[in-house]
Amino acid sequence: MDHLKYLLAANEVARRARENGNTPFGAVLVDENGNIVMEQGNAEKDLHDATAHAERMLASRASQAFSREFLWKCTLYTTFEPCCMCTGAIYWANIGRIVYGVTEEKLLQMTGADDKNPTFNISCRTILAAGQKKIEVLGPFPEIGHAVEEVHRGFWNN
């Protein structure tokens, strides 16, 4: 699969989330044939829900729309490495692969102490290692980092 293509698609979703007044994160779900079957941006402001992260919402919606067998063959592409809450949601939804553009550690550097995103400094790989499923994780992709970070420029208070 063309990982950069799908990461750029997730980044466009993040851009739209920011334009709508939400935090600038985005995710897309891609099936085994390379079709984008679902997309989701952060929607905290829209839903008045602090847990309305793109990856968690996409995982929840996908688990309602598709079978566990279908989802195991899918890839969730996301702009930043999923936080611990989102990683858990992806795990429980049975999505078989995560591909992210930029690390959670870099996000923490970018957001600092901004109360809009009190980031955990823990890798999704560490969280998944405690589980019973062998979910594949690919990332970061430095060649996409600048484009992802650009969507966040000027958003955070740090």
Contact 32, 69 (CB under 8 A): no
3-state secondary structure of 120: coil
Among 96, 139, 118, which Cα is nearest to 44's? 118
**How far from 87 is each of 10, 46, 57, 97, 121, CA to CA, in Å?**
17, 22, 11, 11, 13
What's the CA gap between 99 and 90, in Å, rounded? Answer: 12
What's the CA gap between 130 and 151, in Å, rounded? Answer: 32
What's the CA gap between 56 and 129, in Å, rounded? Answer: 19
Task: Give catalytic residue positions.
Answer: 55
Q: What are phi and psi of 131, to 5 degrees?
A: -95, 180
